[in-house]
Amino acid sequence: MVARAFAELVMVAHFGVLLFLVVGGFLAWHRPRVLYWHLAMATWGLLVVLFPIACPLTWLENGFRTASGQPPLASGFIDTYIDGVLYPDSAAGLVQVLVALVVITSWVGYYLKRRTGHTASARTSETCR
């Protein structure tokens, strides 16, 4: 019973990690230190898409599922809970591209916000002299 609850907790955390992957760059606009975590998450996401790397959260969920008497996930987390559930399997490539575009847009926005913020603060300090 406890192992099953932990398996479900890991599944919810995994959804949270994926949500952070999509919107973390936008969070960094207001909390710049978040960008480092988001860069790490985006790098991991890219590696998982490009190479057959299993996610540690999937390993953890499978361990708890097995301990609770449930079968492990037949395939990865995304294949089980997202592909074919939130969008058709045939759209997986398009969704990956869209997620990449959202992440890149957030980073460009972060850069532009920081650049204009530094320029504005430099102008303010010059006029105060």
Task: Express each pLDDT in 11-28 by its tens digit.
Answer: 999 999 999 999 999 999
118: confidence class by pLDDT, cuts 50, 70, 90: low
**What would the DSSP string read from start to end of the chain?**
-HHHHHHHHHHHHHHHHHHHHHHHHHHTTTSTTHHHHHHHHHHHHHHHHHS-PPPHHHHHHHHHHHHTTPPPPSS-HHHHHTBTTTB-GGGHHHHHHHHHHHHHHHHHHHHHHHHHHHHHHHHHHHHT-
pTM of the model: 0.80
pLDDT digits (tens, 9 = 90+) for 64-114: 999 999 999 988 888 889 888 888 889 988 998 999 999 999 999 999 999
